[in-house]
Chain A
Amino acid sequence: DTGVSQNPRHKITKRGQNVTFRCDPISEHNRLYWYRQTLGQGPEFLTYFQNEAQLEKSRLLSDRFSAERPKGSFSTLEIQRTEQGDSAMYLCASSTPMGATNEKLFFGSGTQLSVL
């Protein structure tokens, strides 16, 4: 499978625990995005990387959220001290922009987080 891979598919945790999600993008893609989606809403932008550089992180929901892409390949999203409001689907997408105005995102299947 050469698509975007996310692990785990589901994560159930207790409030206050830390969780980490992994995303493996399509190998030749240099951009990687993280989104959060709750029921009935569109994906909410969190952060994105160009290779290993995190170009936007001001939209991470709080300082409990952090993301890394240390070698410009896979990425991790960590949520510390989880809260019930963090329960959502966390989506990763990758792309290789074809010019300034043409960028197709390929999404993974997401990690569904449930905080009890």
Chain B
Amino acid sequence: RKEVEQDPGPFNVPEGATVAFNCTYSNSASQSFFWYRQDCRKEPKLLMSVYSSGNEDGRFTAQLNRASQYISLLIRDSKLSDSATYLCVVNMLKHGGSQGNLIFGKGTKLSVKP
């Protein structure tokens, strides 16, 4: 299994649609999970952290399933401005260690059409 694996995309959806992205990770010891957004020709920026109990920020909801080593991002009522690449990020802890490497998935491209 790849360290961090995402839906290949692209996702092309109409405005107002609900869209969900999935991500799986290989290291069961991982403790930190994030979603980043990257606009075309720009640097990645943090969208939201993912907490064990799940968390919501406006139209965005992130979920974590540790048993399945799976995280998700749900975008409701999608806007044209949501068009971007969404990157799943996982802290790959070393065995017995507390430090880790922040590993990015390949990203899923979202295009929201009018």
Partners in one complex: yes
A residues whose Cβ falls under 8 Å from a Cβ of B? 33, 35, 40-45, 48, 50, 55-56, 59, 91, 100-105, 107-110
User: A103, B106: Cβ atoms under 8 Å?
Assistant: no
Count of A-B contacts judged by CB separation below 8 Å: 54
User: B44, A105: Cβ atoms under 8 Å?
Assistant: yes
Contact residues on B (Cβ < 8 Å of other chain), bracket: 20 to 34
Main secondary structure, interface of A, reads loop
Among A50, A107, A109, the most chain B Cβ lie within 10 Å of the Cβ of A107
Residues from chain A with Cβ under 8 Å of B44 in the complex: 43, 91, 105, 107
User: A108, B101: Cβ atoms under 8 Å?
Assistant: no
Q: Closest Cβ of chain B: how far from A4's Cβ, in Å?
A: 8
B residues whose Cβ falls under 8 Å from a Cβ of A? 4, 6, 31-32, 36, 42-46, 49, 87, 91, 98-99, 101-107
